[in-house]
A and B are shown apart, each in its own frame.
Chain A
Amino acid sequence: MSSPAVQTPPSGARNSRLSVAGMAPTDISNPDYFHKVVDCQWACPAHTPVPEYIRMIAAGRYSDAYMVNWHSNVFPGVLGRTCDRPCEPACRRGRVEEVTKKAEPVAICRLKRVAADNKDDVKARMPAPAAAKNGKRVALIGAGPASLTVARDLLPLGYTVVLYDGDGAAGGMMRTQIPKFRLPETVLNEEVNYILDLQPELRLGQKIDSLKALLAEDYDAIFVGCGAPRGRALELPGGAQAKANIHIGIDWLSSVSFGHTTKIGKRVIVLGGGNTAMDCCRTSRRLGGQQVNVVVRSGFDEMKASPWEKEDAMQEGIPIHNFLVPREFLHTNGKLTGMRFQKVKAEFDAKGRRNLVPSGEPDVVMECDDVLVAVGQENAFPWIERDLGLEFDQWDMPRVDPRTFQSTNPRVFFGGDAAFGPKNIIWAVAHGHDAAISIDLLCQGKDMAQRPSPLVNLSSQKMGIHEWSYDNDISNDHRFKVPHAPIEKALKDVKLEVELGFDLSQAFAEAERCLNCDVQTVFDTPKCIECDACVDICPMDCITFTANGDEEDLRRRLTAPSLHKEQDLYISSALKTGRIMAKDEDLCLHCGLCAERCPTGAWDMQKFLLNAPKTGYACHR
Chain B
Amino acid sequence: MTYIAKPKLRHPGIAVNRLGFTHRDYEGSVSTLCAGCGHDSISFAIIQACFELNIEPHRVAKLSGIGCSSKTPDYLLGQSHGFNSVHGRMPSVLTGANLANRDLLYMGVSGDGDSASIGLGQFVHCVRRGVNMVYITENNGVYGLTKGQFSATADKGSKSKAGGSNLDSPLDLVSMALMVGATFVGRSFSGDKAQMVPLIMAAMSHPGPAFIDIVSPCVAFNNHAGSTKAYDFVREHNEAVNRLDLMEPREAITVEYAPGTSEEVALHDGSTLRLSKLAADYDPHDRIGAMAYLQSRAAAGELVTGLIYMDATATDMHANLNTVDQPLNLMSEKQLCPGSNGLDAFNAAHR
Contacts and interface: CB of A to CB of B under 8 A. Distances in A.
B35 A599 contact: yes
A99 to B, nearest CB: 6
B264 interface: no
B183 interface: no
Interface in A488-540: 529-533, 535-537, 539-540
A393 interface: no
B2 A98 contact: no
Interface stretch (A215-223, A265-273, A304-312, A470-478): A470-478
B14 A541 contact: yes
Interface stretch (B38-46, B100-108, B204-212): B38-46
A13 interface: yes
A597 B6 CA distance: 11
B28 to A, nearest CB: 12
Interface stretch (A83-91, A371-379, A585-593): A585-593
B191 interface: yes
A472 B4 CA distance: 8
A466 B1 contact: yes
B192 to A, nearest CB: 9
Contacts of B5: 473
Contacts of B4: 472-473, 591, 593
Which among A95, A539, A589, A600 has the greatest number of chain B C-beta atoms within 10 A?
A539
B7 A531 contact: no
Nearest to B196: A532
Q: How large is the interface on B (under 10, 10 to 19, 20 to 34, 35 or more residues)?
A: 35 or more
A599 B37 CA distance: 8
Contacts of A540: 9-11
B223 interface: yes
Contacts of A530: 191, 231
A486 interface: no
B9 A533 contact: no
Interface in B181-224: 190-191, 193, 217, 219, 223
B117 interface: no
A593 B35 CA distance: 10
Interface residues of A, number: 41
A466 B3 contact: yes
B270 interface: no
A476 B4 CA distance: 13
Contacts of A541: 10-11, 14
Nearest to B11: A560
Contacts of A99: 8-10
A616 interface: no
A531 B191 contact: yes
Nearest to A11: B236
Given A13-B235, A541-B14, A474 B193 contact: no
A15 B34 CA distance: 27
Contacts of A476: 7-9
Interface string B259-271: 0000000000000
A14 B238 contact: yes
A96 interface: yes
Given A531-B36, A531-B231, A532-B193, A587 B8 contact: no
16 contacts: A97-B9, A98-B12, A99-B10, A472-B4, A474-B8, A529-B223, A529-B231, A531-B41, A531-B231, A532-B44, A535-B193, A536-B40, A536-B41, A541-B14, A560-B14, A563-B13
Given A14-B238, A587-B11, A597-B36, 17 more contacts: A529-B219, A529-B232, A531-B231, A532-B44, A532-B193, A533-B40, A535-B44, A535-B193, A536-B40, A539-B9, A540-B10, A541-B11, A561-B13, A576-B232, A589-B9, A599-B36, A600-B36
Interface of A: 12-15, 95-99, 103, 466-467, 472-474, 476, 529-533, 535-537, 539-541, 560-561, 563, 576-577, 587, 589, 591, 593, 596-600
